[in-house]
Amino acid sequence: MSVKYKIKKYLVITRIKRALISRIISIIITFLVSWAMTGNPLLGLSIGAADTIFKLLLYYYYERWWEKKMRKDIKKIKKENKKLKK
């Protein structure tokens, strides 16, 4: 296994860990703030769960939007490049 491959694998795993830990911290904070504001731990947990689901869906559609935009921009660049070569 090459050093380059090991580093790439390490970076991917680290990014995943960081994303998961960040999400867990965010859920805990939302739960605690909701609990403190409502005085009801079950309601705090419900708000934390709803917040997580909403943010996951929002992130998914946000990323899809960016992918479409990037594809469009790449097509435009390729088209312009073809014109320059002629």
- Cα distance between residue 42 and residue 31, in whole Å: 9
Q: Tell me: the pLDDT tens digits for 67-82?
A: 999 999 999 888 888 8
Is residue 86 predicted with pLDDT exceeding 70? no
DSSP state of 39: S
Single-letter amino acid code for the residue at 33 = V
Extract long-range pairs of 2-8: CB within 8 Å, 24+ residues apart.
Answer: none
Q: pLDDT tens digits for 32-60? A: 999 999 999 999 999 989 998 998 899 88
Tell me the angle at which helices 41-85 and 3-38 cross, rounded to the nearest 10 degrees. Answer: 140
What distance in Å separates the CA atoms of residue 18 and residue 56, rounded to the nearest whole number? 16
Dist CA 15 CA 56 (whole Å): 17
pTM: 0.62
Q: How confident is the model at residue 22 (pLDDT cuts 50, 70, 90)?
A: confident
Does the pLDDT value for residue 19 go beyond 70?
Answer: yes
